[in-house]
Amino acid sequence: MDVLQIKQRFGIIGNAPALNRALDIASQVAATDLSVLVTGESGTGKEFFPQIIHRYSNRKHGPYFAVNCGAIPEGTIDSELFGHEKGSFTSAHDTRKGYFEVADGGTLFLDEVAELPLSTQVRLLRVLETGEFLKVGSSKVQKTSVRIIAATNVNLPQAVQNGKFREDLYYRLNTVPISIPPLRERVEDISLLFRKFAADFAEKYKMPAVTLTPDARQMLEGYAFPGNIRQLKNITEQISIIEAERQITAATLRQYLPQPQNLPMLYQQKPLPQAGGKQADFSSEREILYKFLFDMKGDINELKRLVNIIMQGDASHFNSATTVSSCTPDVTITQPGQGSSMHLKQPATDEHVVEAKEVEEELLSLDLKELEMIRKALEKHRGRRKNAAQELGISERTLYRKIKEYHLD
C-alpha cells in the first residue's frame, strides 16, 4: 500500500517529506507484529497512525481498542488494562475483563503511555516480553496475543533519566519509532489544511467557504501553531462562523492568532515536555501570559505595600538605611514621635492616590487570572496537585496554600 492510497483512505492532507516518511514507515511495519512508538507534539494527529497500522496488518479483522492512559485514575488503571477478580478490592463486585483480554488477537493503542504508573509499567513490560498477565487479585497466569502501539508527546529519554519511565519498557516499546512532525515544519501543508477545513465547515454550516488573501496566507504560513493541526482547525472554524466577509485579509486573520506574529515562532525552539520535569507544556500562548502575571504578582504585592505606607504617612517601616525605589512616589514622610523626617523630592498628591487605587484594581485582576490559571492546571492534570504545581512553576506547598485561599478544594 503506497502513501497516496493511505492518505486517501484516512483523509490525511499534506505533502511534507517528514509526514510522507512517517506514513511510509507505518505502512511497512503494519505487516509485522513489532511494537511501535509514535511520538510528536499534541495536536499533530498521532491517533491516525495506530489505525493505519491496524488496518493494514494481519490483525485487521481483530479488535482494535484505543486507551487514553492519562485519563484513567492511577488507582484503577491496572484493573482497566488487565481486569480484576471479584472481591479483589472494595468496589470489585464482579469479575471484569481488561483490555489485554478483550483485545486478544487484535491491536491495543496506548495513548499518553508516559502517564502510566511505574507499577503498571512493570505489568506492561511482562505482557510485551512474554504475552502473559495477571488479573488484579488473581494468581492465575493468562495468555494474550495483542499488538501494542503506544503514543506520547513526552520526551521519554528524559523521563527515563528522571526515573519516571522504565528504561527497559522504553526500548521494548520503541522497537519501531515513528515521529510525527509539528505543523510549523510542514509550512507547505498549512494552506492545504486551511482550505480543507474551510470546505468542511462550509458544508457543515451551509455557507460559502472562506478564502485567504495572499497576505493572509503568508501570515498563516508564518505562524508557528503551538497547538498544531488542532489549533488550525479551531481557528478556521471560528473564522467560518464569525466573519461575514468570506475573503479573509491579514488584518482580519491577525485577530484570531493568539499572539503577535513573531512570538509563536519561539515554539520552534521548544522541546517536548518532560515527564515530571519543570518544563511546562502550555497549550496556548494565553497560558504563557498567565504564568508571567503569576510570577509578577509578588512584586506587585510589594509595590502595593509601599504605596499604602506612603499614603498613610507611616514611615515606621523605614529606617535610616532605607532606600526608596524610583518606582515609589516622591513624598515627605515624618516619623511619628521623633520629630525627624525623610524628605523626598515632592509631596504626595491626589494623583498618587489614584495610582494606588489602580494598583489595587490591577492586583484584583491578577488574582482572577491567578485563580483561572490554577483552576486550569488542576483540571488539566485531573486534580493531581504535584503535576499542577510543576506546570505552574511553584512548590506543591504553595499550590496547596493557594487552593485553600481560593476555596478550590
What is the tens place of the pLDDT at every residue in 73-119?
Answer: 888 899 999 988 887 777 777 888 999 999 999 999 999 999 999 99
Q: How many CB atoms lie within 10 A of CB 128?
A: 17
What is 3-179's CATH topology? Rossmann fold (3.40.50)
pTM exceeds 0.75, yes or no = no
CATH of 184-268, one of 1.20.120.1200, 3.40.50.300, 1.10.8.60, 3.40.50.2020: 1.10.8.60
Partners of 166 in the β-ladder: none
CB 100 within 8 A of CB 143: no
Listed range (85-99, 134-148, 330-344, 352-366) with the worst mean pLDDT: 330-344
CB 402 within 8 A of CB 369: no
What are 26-43's pLDDT values in tens digits? Answer: 999 999 999 999 999 999
CA 237 to chain centre: 21
Domain range summary for the chain, segments of one domain joined by +: 3-179, 184-268, 285-405
Residue 157: φ, ψ to 5°: -55, -40
CB 98 within 8 A of CB 80: yes
